[in-house]
Chains A and B, each alone.
Chain A
Amino acid sequence: MNLVADFLNSGIRLTVPILFAAIASLLSARAGVLNLAIESKVLAGAFVGILVAAGTGNTLLGVLAAAASGALIGALLALAQRLGVDLVVLAIGLNILVLQLTVYLMRSYLGGVGTYSPDLETIPPLTIPGISDLPFLGALLSRLNWSVYLAFFAAILVGIYFRTRSGRHLLAVGEAPIAAASAGLSVGRTQTLTLLAAGALAGIGGAYLSVGDLGLFTRNMSADRGWIGITAALLALNKPAFIVPAAAVFGFASAASIRLQAFDVPASVTQFIPQGAAFVALVLVGLRAKSRGSFLRLWSQSSRIPLGRLREPGPPRPEPGAAPPPESSRVEEPSSSRSPRG
Chain B
Amino acid sequence: MQRDAIERTIRRIGMPVLAIVASLMVGALLVLALGESPVAAASTVVQAGFSCSPGYCNLGGTLALAGPIIFCALGAVVSLRTGLFSIGQEGQYALGGLAGAVAGYAIAAPAGVAPVVALAASALMGALWGVIPAILKVFLGVNELIITIVLNAIAGLLLDFLVNYPLRAEASTNGYTHVVRDEARLPVFDTSTKFGLAFVLAVLAVVAVGFYLNRTTVGYEQRMSGEAPAFARYSGMSSTASVLRAGLLGGALAGIGGGIQVIGTNYRVVEGFSDGTGFTGLTAAILGGTTAIGAGLLGILYAGITVGAVNGLQIMLGVPREIGSTVLALMIVFIAAQAPLLTRWERFLDRRRANRLLDSGASLAQPAGRGSAA
Contacts and interface: CB of A to CB of B under 8 A. Distances in A.
B231 A104 contact: no
Nearest to B159: A268
Contacts of B331: 93
Given A285-B142, A332-B230, A335-B229, A92 B283 contact: yes
Interface string B341-374: 1011001000100100000000000000000011
Interface in B120-143: 136, 139-143
Contacts of B111: none
B136 A286 contact: yes
Contacts of A85: 336-337, 339-340
B237 interface: no
Given A314-B347, A340-B80, A268 B322 contact: no
B29 interface: no
Interface centre among A108, A269, A276, A278 (most CB of B within 10 A): A108
Interface in B53-77: none
Interface stretch (A14-22, A95-103, A126-134, A208-216): A95-103
Contacts of A287: 140
Interface residues of A, number: 64
A120 interface: no
A335 B230 contact: yes
Interface residues of B, number: 65
A96 B281 CA distance: 13
Interface in B62-106: 80-81, 83, 85, 87
A266 B85 contact: no
A224 B153 contact: yes
Contacts of A169: none
Contacts of A88: 85, 145
A296 B343 CA distance: 29
Contacts of B289: 342
Contact of A107 (B142, B283, B320): B320
A282 interface: yes
Contacts of B279: 92, 96
Interface of B: 30, 33-34, 80-81, 83, 85, 87, 136, 139-143, 145-147, 149-151, 153-154, 157-158, 160-161, 164-165, 226-231, 279, 282-283, 286, 289-290, 319-320, 322-323, 325-326, 328-333, 335-337, 339-341, 343-344, 347, 351, 354, 373-374
Given A90-B336, A92-B286, A308-B340, 4 more contacts: A80-B336, A93-B332, A294-B141, A342-B339
Interface of A: 34, 36, 80, 83-86, 88-90, 92-94, 96-97, 100-101, 103-104, 107-108, 112, 224, 227-228, 230-231, 234, 266-269, 271-272, 275-276, 278-279, 282-283, 285-287, 289-290, 294, 296-297, 300, 308, 312-316, 331-332, 335-336, 338-342
